[in-house]
Every structure is written in C-alpha cells, then in structure tokens.
Amino acid sequence: MADRMDELDRKILLQLQKDTTPSIEEIARSVGSSKTPVWNRIRKMREKGIITREVAILDADALGFEACFFVLIRTSEHDAGWQKAFLKALRERAEVQEAHRLAGDIDYILKVRVPNARAYDVFYQALISEVKIHNVTALLSMEEIKSTTALPL
C-alpha cells in the first residue's frame, strides 16, 4: 500500500499534516525540492489515499464545546444485529468524534464532544435508549494537554 515512500514524500507529508496553507512553492523550498516534483507527489498521494482528506481544525472552546468525554463501554450483546445498530448509532451522532472497538474486557471507547455535561447526558440517554449497553464509564476531560492528528512519521 505505502509503496515506495521515500524521504522526500515523508518530508512533504510531515509538512502537510502540520499545515496545508503554504503554497507548493514554499513547501518545495522547505523540503529542498522544486514545484513540479512536489506537486506530482502530493497528487499521487491524494490519489492513493495516503492523504485521506484536508480539513480545518476548529477551536472547540471558542465555539462553545467545552466538554469532552471518553466513554468506556462494556456490552453483553455480541450478536450481529446489535452490533449493526450500535455502529449505526455511533456513526450518525455528530457528538461522537471517535469510536473504536477494543480488545479486552472493555468493548468500545468513544470520544464525545459536547457543549456541557448536560448535553452529554442528553447524548447518553439517547444512546442507551437506542441500543442496550451493559456498562458505561464516562471519563471527563479537565484539560486537553495535547491534540494532534499528525502521525509520528
């Protein structure tokens, strides 16, 4: 999949996962190359899906999303129908920023972003009314120490 990633590709990705606003010319300079090769490589990496998407990261606090919860979920139900309904519920809810199925005794972890604790409760009540869940632990974030989408390339 990640065939033939060389040092130049790596440098370009390091730059783009920090900041996509500089021009191709500036990126080319910062990685020690020139416009055309850098542009061609970016295009190829977009086509291959190595670059999944390009997005703006917004300030959650400035926009009034002051509460972030990590939700640990245990379930007794493991049949296909239940799982399908559960995944659907997670994907449809915009409050759920991340959802992972886990190995071990905790089955799922969610990251949920809401304006306040009250809004979390509304989300939580809606979720458990949609699908049966055995056990839920909510961890409330007091401080976001670090948050990056960058991979450690």
Query: Is the Cβ of residue 129 or residue 148 nearer to its own copies in the bound state?
Result: 148
Positions in 92-151 near its own copies (CB under 8 A): 93-104, 106, 108-109, 113-114, 139-151
80 scored as a contact of its own copies (CB under 8 A): no
Number of shown-chain residues binding its own copies (CB under 8 A): 66
CB-side exposure of 150: number of CA atoms within 13 Å? 16
Distances, alpha carbon 11 to alpha carbons 21, 24, 96, 153, in Å:
16, 13, 32, 9
- For tokens 């490589």, the residue is 41
84 scored as a contact of its own copies (CB under 8 A): no
81 scored as a contact of its own copies (CB under 8 A): no
- Residue 40 binds what, of its own copies, DNA, none (CB under 5 to 8 Å, by partner type)? DNA
- The residue range among 24-32, 50-58, 74-82, 125-133 that interacts with its own copies, by the rule CB under 8 A, is 50-58
Under a CB-based contact definition with an 8 Å cutoff, are residues 53 and 129 in contact? no
CB of 60 to DNA, least distance (A): 24
Q: Is 12 exposed, middle or buried (0-12, 13-18, 19+ CB in 10 A)?
A: buried
Taking alpha carbons only, the member of 67, 82, 77, 60 closest to residue 140 is 67
> How many C-beta atoms lie closer than 10 Å to residue 23's C-beta?
9
Q: Which of 4, 6, 7, 21 binds its own copies (CB under 8 A)?
A: 21
Interface residue list for its own copies (CB under 8 A): 1-2, 5, 13, 16-21, 48-65, 68, 70, 72, 87, 90-91, 93-104, 106, 108-109, 113-114, 139-153
